[in-house]
């Protein structure tokens, strides 16, 4: 018995992404999501990484006010390392200085202050 699968024109073709850590919800156009996901899927072999980078682009787009197309055109001729550095730069612009991405030098507190910190 064959079935016919068709899209329901009454539904909204958007993707909703939930970030439970920051209590943030992104409402994304389905076509734009597929475009960005296919871009990152062609670059990264890992599906999980491609999906995370896709959501990162939409988060950056919302935070900076730039379009997704502008961000993709900037990332278009970069390799994996350059893309990671570029996205970390954008994300760091909207983060606290204590939670920066891609920073390998850890701040070492004064010895006497460090003794008094309880974890």
**pLDDT digit string, tens, across residues 56-107:** 888 888 888 889 999 899 888 888 888 888 888 887 777 666 666 666 666 6
Which residue range is the domain that position 57 belongs to? 14-115
For residue 44, which of 75, 16, 21 has the smallest C-alpha distance?
75
Q: Is residue 111 part of a domain?
A: yes
Q: Is residue 7 part of a domain?
A: no
Q: Is residue 110 part of a domain?
A: yes
Q: Is residue 34 part of a domain?
A: yes
Q: Which residues are CB-neighbours of 108 under 8 A, at least 6 positions away?
A: 114
State the pTM of this model: 0.64
The number of distinct structural domains making up the chain is 1
Q: Is residue 5 part of a domain?
A: no
């Amino acid at each position: 018995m064959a079935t016919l699968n068709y899209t329901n024109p009454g539904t909204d073709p958007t993707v909703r992404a939930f970030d439970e850590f920051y209590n943030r919800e992104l409402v994304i156009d389905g076509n734009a999501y597929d475009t960005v996901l296919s871009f990152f899927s062609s670059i990264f072999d890992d599906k999980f990484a491609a999906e995370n980078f896709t959501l990162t682009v939409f988060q950056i787009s919302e935070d900076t006010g730039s379009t997704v197309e502008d961000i993709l055109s900037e990332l278009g001729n970069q390799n994996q390392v350059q893309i990671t550095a570029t996205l970390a730069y954008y994300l760091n612009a909207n983060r606290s200085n204590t939670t920066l991405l891609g920073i390998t030098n850890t701040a070492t507190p004064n010895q006497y202050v460090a003794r008094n910190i309880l974890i």
